[in-house]
Chain A
Amino acid sequence: MTEVLPDAQPADTRQAETEPRYGVGERRKRFDALGRVRGTIRYTGDEANPPGTAFVGVHRSTAPHARIVAVHTEDALAVEGVLAVVTGRDLYEVLGDRIYTGPAFADQPCLAVDKTRFVGEAIAAVLATDPDTARAAADEIAVEYEELPPVYDIDDALRGEAFVHEELRPSSVFADLAHLRGVRGTNVNYEYRQILGDAAAEHERAATTVTATTWAPPTHHVPIELPSTSAWVDSGRLEMLSTTQTPSYVRQTVSDLLDIPLSQVRIMTRPLGGSFGCKMYDRLEPLAAALAWTTGRRVRIDATREDAFLLTTRHGARVTGSMSADADGNIVAVTSDVRYDTGAFADVGPRIAAKSGLVAPGPYRIAAVDVRSRCIYTNKVSAGPFRGFGVPQVTWSHETLIDELARELGEDPYRFRRRHLLREGDIATVGTKMHSADFLTCIDEVTRAVGWDDPTPEGDGRWVHGKGVAVGMKAVLTPTIANATLNLNQDGSATLLISTVDMGQGSDTIMSQIVGEVLSLDSRRIHVVRADTDATPYDTITAGSRSTYHTGNAVRLVAEAMRNKLLGFAAERWGVPAEELVLDAQGVVHEAKELRGSLSDLVRAKFGARGATVTTAENFTSWWVPYDHDTGLSEKVTEHWFAGAAAVRLAVDIWTGRIRTQHLAIAGDVGRAINPTLVEQQLTGAAIMGIGHTLFDEMVFDQGQITNATMLDYQLPSIKDLPEKLTPVIVESAHRDGPFGAKGVGETTILPIAPAYAGAVRDACGVRITTLPLTPERVLNHLADAADPGKAGR
């Protein structure tokens, strides 16, 4: 006999077992697909502005490096509709040094106080009754400057004649930077070294050495949604709605800035219209919070596209590297000098210098390495996190080197890499044992996809053909913390509370798939709450491809805890041991006694109320062994690795320098694809963004000033830049600790694109280009230089 609990709902029938559950591994649609297509889901900027909202216009610096002598605000104040004008000095009077914020160094004032450090830095803010008035009045502000010697690029910075900051100011966020406090007379805010063996001696002894200096320029994320932030004070609490990937971080920053308890700060988010790293850490939020707090007004800051270009960028990076092989073709030494241009503020640059510097030698078995990776201030827009977190820049170097080394040795670039790639159980140069980083399958799959061994077309004298391959290696951000809270509703649906922000990657959808899998629920019955620090628990950040692994694990744990709790309810009710119960699509079952109860009935029976909820909460924290200060080595530098590869077949027009992509194949080891459709979209999306970085994306600076900060001037990949054929390959080498074996994916395939292309151009027309992007002009110049060996290409 099967006991049916009272009020069994008709939906709970045997038949349900055959219905799809949209769990782990299924190509389930995004839950809000229709809203995204019709444009009815609400992004931050879609929220209405209550009457009384003050719109903010920002007056920006025209000097790259100058002392601020005076800020004249009278004309702006006189504009009809202007409510207030606030300068950095005004805020400093209230906030003191707390006005300086930033994730690694407290060096970013939300309005410049005494000195301006780049063209475009915010100097003063105008609050007005409408956005157009605010912007127009901001133009009426006049600033008197006393010019200081500018530091335009890395070379200027290292010469050490002028300094962007008088002294280094590590923030309180990262304890390991504390020893840098007060250091003066340098533009280098952080240096990471990796020393393994004696690289100099190995180079000396080696049979073959190749050397290259590569340059990857600053680029911009350009998500189509512009940043927007509103802030207001409610009962002494500071509340904000903002386009941010890091609500928990922003909450802490605002609490520090205003010197109020965390519980008095609330950060709310909406889905993001893309970000790729530019909507994290300190962007518009400190300014909005400071203005709302000091004026008592509800403020709203909407960045224009020109403003957005001034908020953060990807680091331009120059890398000088050497790679040597012995007579048997073994890689015996790699030396790498990495220089990241972080601009006026360190932002997360010190972390990038370390965490990307540590993979500078590449994912190979190498006997000896010597890496020096530096984060360097200059008087330009500050650089920060961007999809790949500094790794595309070092990959550009190590993949250039190994490709040249293979060619120098007369070997096939694919097979040469393959022989030296790290395998399961190998120790990477940084000292960490490799697990679930399947470079071999990735490189095998992409070369197979493009028919690596098929003959390359002859060409017609104008179009010449070539093929290239590259791999990319990245560590996931570790250590980080994720929490999840789950409410099971009495109707058998569930509500998941996490602070991961869905910005297009589809995290809300895959997190519900994980819950659904554990609880045997249709994942479409699980709602994910948007990050809101009043409700959703702490999460380090949504970035670095960490969420699937970290938040995914917290979500798996919270669902398992819920399962146990529910089994406990049934055990109590039926007087049986919980271990004898299982949870399936119909609910809790005791097979031997033929007892069965739906989740809905169990909850109703427990609480005697419709609409009741059951709550569980769990945490997942990853750990690492901090790298040794002198050698940069660590036996566990990260929780897991990303392995990716790209192979491309292309044609170069030697008349115009144009590059045509015939077939691009990309692969990423994702551990386990929770939702293969979303994984493929991340793989192809990152690859196409990588095509932009390879062929044309670039921020152009003239004496510290960006000259292409509009979408008319800044070129992005359009539908016409799609390869003629594009093949994404999902590699699933399960991670022992991932949720269902899964790891993240968002950055994997942006890493190897540029070097794969450059290798193919080398294959097609014999020129090795080491400066990105591979514009037609640059290709032509190299072809001309190759024809005239007297000149060196750039």
Chain B
Amino acid sequence: MNEITLDVNGTPYKVAVEDTTLLLDALRRRVGVTSAREGCGVGACGACTVLAEGRSVSSCLAVAVRYDGTPLTTADGLPEDDPVVSSFVDSDAMQCGYCIPGFVLMTKELLSENRSPSDEEISDHLEGNICRCATYPEIIKAVRLAAKRSAT
């Protein structure tokens, strides 16, 4: 067992983990995060996405100890008026909603690297996230709107 600090949305949590404990499990079982979720467990769906220092990580593939002290962002840590959050809401970019927090964080990452992505750049960046409800048209609208809102 290791005692590590998970710095989640600005709050430090001291948690005990094994060497092999996955970041996803540590966040869900020890910290109580609900927005990172298991969909595949093999890095193929994006439902478990979190941001580590702003960069997307599939937390189902990451071991928790490696993120000791690293600033982590999960979707529930974003404010209501975050431009990406509000754009997803205003674009009706959700059906069952299970996959959506992952898309939100991927969009945060994309817009931090590229302020006005083309549609092709949007789909290139979001390709690894699966939405089985196929909310893709609304997600694309949401990302375009978020780019506009982030620019102003």
Contacts and interface: CB of A to CB of B under 8 A. Distances in A.
B44 A224 contact: no
B132 A223 contact: yes
A39 B75 contact: yes
A684 B34 contact: no
A41 interface: yes
Interface string B16-58: 0000000000001000101111111111110100000000000
A175 interface: no
A289 interface: no
Nearest to B85: A37
Contacts of B96: 36, 223-225, 271-274, 503-504
B41 A304 contact: yes
Interface in A237-279: 271-274, 276
Interface centre among B74, B76, B94 (most CB of A within 10 A): B94
Given A224-B47, A712-B43, A716-B130, 14 more contacts: A33-B94, A34-B80, A35-B97, A37-B101, A39-B97, A39-B104, A40-B35, A711-B40, A712-B40, A718-B130, A719-B122, A719-B131, A722-B123, A722-B137
Contacts, number: 158
Contact of A711 (B44, B75, B126): B44
A710 interface: yes
The secondary structure that dominates the B interface is loop
Nearest to A130: B29
Given A681-B95, A685-B95, A716-B130, A36 B100 contact: yes
A681 B98 CA distance: 15
5 contacts: A36-B96, A37-B97, A39-B97, A39-B100, A712-B44
Contact of A40 (B41, B76, B128, B135): B76
Given A42-B34, A226-B38, A712-B42, A30 B92 contact: yes
B94 A30 contact: yes
A225 B94 contact: no
A38 B136 contact: no
Interface string A676-718: 0100010011011100000000000000000000111000111
Contacts of A272: 96
B48 to A, nearest CB: 10
Contacts of A224: 37, 39, 45, 47, 96, 98-99, 130-132
Contacts of B4: none
A716 B134 CA distance: 10
A247 B93 CA distance: 28
A494 to B, nearest CB: 24
B136 A719 contact: yes
Interface of A: 29-30, 32-43, 45-46, 48, 221-226, 271-274, 276, 304-305, 503-506, 677, 681, 684-685, 687-689, 710-712, 716-720, 722, 726
A46 B76 CA distance: 13
The secondary structure that dominates the A interface is loop
Interface string B91-118: 0111111111100100000000000000
A711 B40 CA distance: 6
B7 interface: no
Nearest to B33: A39
A396 B28 CA distance: 43
A722 B47 CA distance: 20
B75 A685 contact: no
A719 B98 CA distance: 16
Contacts of B97: 32, 35-37, 39, 41, 271, 273, 504
A687 B44 CA distance: 22
Contacts of A717: 134
Which 7 pairs of residues, A with B, have the shortest CB-CB distance? A39-B35, A273-B98, A504-B96, A36-B97, A39-B101, A688-B134, A711-B40
B75 A684 contact: no
Contacts of B41: 304-305
Contacts of A677: 92
A591 to B, nearest CB: 39
A48 B30 CA distance: 10
Contacts of B45: 224, 711
Interface residues of B, number: 51
A37 B103 CA distance: 9
A89 B101 CA distance: 44
B62 interface: no
Contacts of B47: 224
A225 B37 contact: yes
A39 B78 CA distance: 10
A274 B134 CA distance: 11
B147 interface: no
Nearest to A721: B136
Nearest to B44: A711
A38 B44 contact: no
A705 B20 CA distance: 30
A45 B24 CA distance: 13
B145 to A, nearest CB: 13
Contacts of B135: 681, 685
Contacts of A43: 34, 37, 98
A507 to B, nearest CB: 12
A719 B123 contact: yes
A34 B81 CA distance: 10
Contacts of B88: 37
Contacts of A712: 40, 42-44
A85 to B, nearest CB: 24
Contacts of A684: 134, 137
B127 interface: yes
Contacts of B40: 305, 710-712
B139 interface: yes
B51 to A, nearest CB: 13
Contacts of A506: 95
B133 A274 contact: yes
Nearest to B28: A46
A54 to B, nearest CB: 16
A46 B28 CA distance: 8
Nearest to B78: A38
B68 to A, nearest CB: 21
Contact of A37 (B39, B42, B89): B89
Contact of B132 (A40, A45, A689): A689
Contact of A710 (B42, B85, B136): B42
A604 B76 CA distance: 39
Contact of B98 (A29, A274, A711): A274
Contacts of A41: 34, 97
A223 B98 contact: yes
A276 B95 CA distance: 12
Given A37-B94, A37-B101, A503-B96, A710 B134 contact: no
A306 B101 CA distance: 23
Contacts of A45: 37
Contact of B76 (A38, A710, A726): A38
A542 to B, nearest CB: 13
Contacts of A719: 122-123, 126-127, 129, 131, 136, 139-140
A710 B93 CA distance: 26
Contacts of B28: 46
Nearest to B29: A49
Contacts of A221: 132
Interface centre among B98, B122, B139 (most CB of A within 10 A): B98
A506 B78 CA distance: 24
Contacts of B122: 719
A708 to B, nearest CB: 12
A722 B101 contact: no
A64 to B, nearest CB: 25
A597 to B, nearest CB: 36
Contact of B127 (A39, A40, A718): A718
B121 to A, nearest CB: 12
A469 B94 CA distance: 29
Interface centre among A46, A221, A273, A717 (most CB of B within 10 A): A273
Given A36-B94, A37-B94, A710-B44, A29 B131 contact: no
Nearest to A275: B96
B64 to A, nearest CB: 14
